[in-house]
Amino acid sequence: MLTVRHLTKSYRSAQEDVAVLRGIDLIVAAGESVALTGESGSGKSTLLHLIAGLDEADAGEIMLGDVAVTRLKDPERAALRRDRLGLVFQQFNLIPSLSVADNLSFQSRLSGRHDQAWQGELIERLGLSALLKRYPEQLSGGQQQRVAIGRALASKPALLLADEPTGNLDEDTADEVMHLVRDLVSRSGCGFLMVTHSARLAAMLDRRVHLRAGLIA
């Protein structure tokens, strides 16, 4: 499903180049859920961004199925995100001027993969039925994150990427959201890669990969 080989990435700072990733190898099988843990600055978010095609790697290769993400140009990476990936961030990243319903269906409509039945199931499982007409600013943090997850899954991505999706939520809400995500991921059969610093949450997934100083420990 996802294969990462010898991936390196460094950022140029004022004085020197800082190597963030120093040769990552990682495989996520179809339907597998993997937690990416590590301390701040270990490079876990950078790795996620590279996989999502939000940034470009220095060397190495990312294969999503048979597509080499690292060889795509920006518009192709955008299309890849649109059609095959789902993204959930710590900040909820909803579109403030769209209603909950429109936010939910945004990406699936964009990719032309809108499926009314699946959308209905998502709404029900995420408990959003009563909130469809509201706008993001009228929701609590947990509710907003559920909308973001719904949006990411609505287009039935091959791989769901999440960066601290519960970082802004209290513990109870976080657990609830995590259970939801796990259920939904397994129902849709997609791969799931989540960045988290919480060992507790990491333990809820199939496998855990720990990053330390740009390398897999």
Q: What does the binding site for other proteins look like in residue numbers (CB under 8 A)?
A: 49, 52, 54-55, 74-75, 78-83, 85, 87, 89, 93-98, 102, 106-107, 109-112, 135, 141, 151
Please report how close the Cβ of residue 208 comes to other proteins at its closest, in angstroms. Answer: 25
Nearest residue (CB) to other proteins, 79 versus 215: 79
CB of 82 to other proteins, least distance (A): 2
Which ranges of 99-213 would DSSP assign to H, the alpha helix? Answer: 100-111, 116-126, 141-154, 171-188, 199-202
Q: Which is nearer to other proteins, 116 or 203 (CB)?
A: 116
**Residue the block writes with tokens 């909308």:** 147
Nearer Cβ to other proteins (7/202): 7
Q: What are phi and psi of 55, to 5 degrees?
A: -145, 165
**Rounded to whole angstroms, how far apart are CA atoms 16 and 20?**
12
Coil, strand or helix: which one is 155? coil
Cβ 148 to other proteins shortest distance, Å:
9
Report in angstroms how near the CB of residue 126 gets to other proteins at its nearest.
Answer: 18
Please state, in angstroms and rounded to a whole number, the distance separating the CA atoms of residues 165 and 192: 12
